[in-house]
Amino acid sequence: MSTDTPIVIFDTTLRDGEQSPGCTMHHAEKLRFAHQLARLGVDIIEAGFAIASHGDFDSVQTIAREVGGAEAAPRIASLARCKREDIEAAARAVEPARKSRIHVFLASSDLHLEAKLKISRTQALDNVGTSVRLARTFADDVEFSTEDGTRSNLDFLIQMITVAIQAGATTINIPDTVGYTTPTEYKHLFETVRRRIPGSDQIVFSTHCHNDLGLAVANSLAGLEGGARQIECTINGIGERAGNAALEEIVAAIATRHDRYPFKTNIVMNQLYPTSRMLGEIISFGAPPNKAVVGKNAFAHESGIHQHGVLSNPLTYEIMTPASVGFTGQNIVLGKHSGRRALEYRLAEMGYKLSHQEIDAVYERFIELADRKKNIYDQDVIGLLQPSVGETLVSNVP
Ligand code: KIV
Ligand code: ZN
Atom of ligand 1 nearest to the CA of 105: 6
Does 395 have pLDDT greater than 60?
no
pLDDT at 49 over 70: yes
The per-residue pLDDT for 394 is 56
DSSP assignment string, 90-134: HHHHHTTSSSEEEEEEEE-SHHIIIIII---HHHHHHHHHHHHHH
Atom of ligand 1 nearest to the CA of 178: 1
Q: What mean pLDDT is reported for the chain?
A: 95
The atom of ligand 1 lying closest to the CA of 173 is 7
> Is residue 51 pLDDT above 90, yes or no?
yes
Q: Is the dihedral of CA 183, 187, 189, 190 positive or negative?
A: positive
pLDDT at 328: 86
- The whole-number average pLDDT for the span 49-67 is 98
How does pLDDT run across 271-323, given as a tens digit for each residue?
999 999 999 999 999 999 999 999 999 999 999 999 999 999 999 999 999 99
Q: What is the pTM of this model?
A: 0.94
Distance CA 398, CA 396 (A): 6
pLDDT for 154 equals: 98
What lines the ligand 1 site, CB under 6 Å?
Answer: 16, 105, 145, 147, 173, 175, 177, 208, 210
- Residue identifier of the C-alpha nearest atom 1 of ligand 1: 177
Centroid of ligand 1 to alpha carbon of 175 (angstroms): 6
Best residue for ligand 1 mutational test, from 13, 14, 144, 147 (most atoms within 8 Å of Cβ)? 147
The pLDDT, as a whole number, for residue 386 is 81
Ligand 2 centroid distance, CA of 2 (Å): 32
Q: How far is the CA of 27 from the centre of ligand 2 (A)?
A: 21
Task: Look at residue 55 in the predicted model and tell me its pLDDT.
Answer: 97
**What's the 147 CA to ligand 1 centre distance in angstroms?**
6
pLDDT tens-digit readout, 88-102: 999 999 999 999 999
Ligand nearest to the CA of 174: 1
Phi, psi of 178 (to 5 degrees): -110, 20
Query: Is the pLDDT score of 218 beyond 90?
Result: yes
Dist. CA 106 → ligand 1 center (Å): 9
pLDDT band at 2 (very low <50, low <70, confident <90, very high): confident
Of the candidates 269, 187, 263, the one whose C-alpha atom is nearest the C-alpha of residue 220 is: 187
Residue 31 pLDDT greater than 80, yes or no: yes
> Ligand 1, closest atom to CA 15?
8
Neighbouring C-beta atoms of residue 356, cutoff 10 Å: 9
Amino acid of residue 182: T
Query: Could you tell me the domains of the chain?
Result: 5-282 (3.20.20.70), 304-384 (no CATH)
Taking 70 as the threshold, does the pLDDT of residue 247 lie above it?
yes
Give the nearest ligand 1 atom to 103 CA: 7
In terms of phi and psi (left: phi > 0; alpha: psi -120 to 50; beta: otherwise), the region of 148 is left
Give the C-alpha separation, 119 to 5, whole Å. 40
> Confidence band (pLDDT; 50, 70, 90) for 397?
low
Residue type, 183: P
Q: What integer pLDDT is reported at residue 353 of this predicted model?
A: 92
> Which ligand is located closest to the Cα atom of residue 144?
1
Phi-psi region of 214 (alpha: psi -120 to 50; beta: other; left: phi over 0): left
**Closest by alpha carbon to 338, among 295, 299, 309, 296?**
309
List, for residues 372-393, the tens digit of each pLDDT value. 998 899 999 999 998 654 455 5
**What does the pLDDT average to over 127-155?**
98
CA of 72 to the centre of ligand 2 (A): 27
Q: What is the pLDDT of residue 62?
A: 98
State residue 329's pLDDT score: 77
* pLDDT exceeds cutoff 90 at 193: yes
User: Residue 39 C-alpha to ligand 2 middle, in angstroms?
Assistant: 24
Residue nearest ligand 1's atom 2 by CA: 177
User: What value does the mean pLDDT take over residues 101-115?
Assistant: 98
Percentage, residues of the chain above pLDDT 90: 94
Ligand of minimum distance to the alpha carbon of 230: 1
Residues 209 and 354: their CA atoms lie apart, in Å, by 53
